[in-house]
Amino acid sequence: MSSTRCACLALVLIPACMVEVGDNDDVGKGPGEYDEIALVIASFVAADHGGEIASLGDAVELAGGELPPGFHVEDDGAVAGARGELRYGYRVRCVDAGGATVDPCEPGADRAAIDVTWAGRLAAPGYDGAVDRCGGWSLSMLQAPAAALAGDSDFIFHGVVRAPGRPERTYHLEARAAYRDVRLGDGAGMVAGRVHYAIDATPLLGDGGRARSFTVDAELVVEDGGRGRLVLDGALGYGLDTRTGAVDAP
């Protein structure tokens, strides 16, 4: 990955978009770095921090013709809102079981396509900093007890990571997410499924330099009931509470 991905994002808070990640060198990756990456993922996934799980819940509401609390429809038809200092934008298109457009979306819709963007600051115990994302989700089986979702997103993070027992560090991260077999419950966000995150991470030094960049392959698996398990590089597993963002050591 490279900083050219910034072009797809409405960046306003990440001057580090100018950081050139360069070639990755996994010599810079050890147990401490894995813990830090796990905290970043847990922070932006957790519903309590207004992250991924909350945004997936927004998708279910919007596909059913409802606005999430505090959100509004703008003049161009986009849906916008904020949780804390993180701003969200959605564009929603729905069709019924026969393929006819449903505009605006309503409870009888069968499928929906949603463009999603975030921009702003995510403040959580494990990560505090800027985040931008853009991507798209396709929802189906909206009349079933658990709707199905697939899609992808690009993320850029630039902020401070606070891992227990380690000095806080500033990171620049770029990630691509792919959503597979995701099931969404009404009002609950993601209740089951898998999300794969391909991550480029660059720890930044206090003098403005950077440590060795490294890559991490992360897989978030959510079981029925919302409990998550995060597996890094296919080997290191962490328990993850998708509501609070609490992480259990591997």
Which pLDDT band holds residue 45 (cuts at 50, 70, 90)? very high
pLDDT in tens, 187-245: 667 889 999 999 999 999 876 667 789 999 999 999 866 789 999 999 999 999 988 88
Mean pLDDT of 117-122: 96
Q: What does DSSP say about strands 189-204 and 86-95: parallel, antiparallel, or unpaired? A: unpaired
Number of domains in the chain: 1
Domain carrying residue 236: 3-248
Q: Cα–Cα distance between 60 and 175 in angstroms, integer?
A: 24
- Which residues, other chains included, contact 138 with Cβ-Cβ below 8 Å and sequence gap of 6+? 111, 112, 113, 114, 149, 150, 151
Q: With pLDDT > 70 as the criterion, what percentage of the chain qualifies?
A: 86
Angle ∠(173,169,82) on CA atoms, nearest 5: 55
Say which DSSP state 250 is in.
-
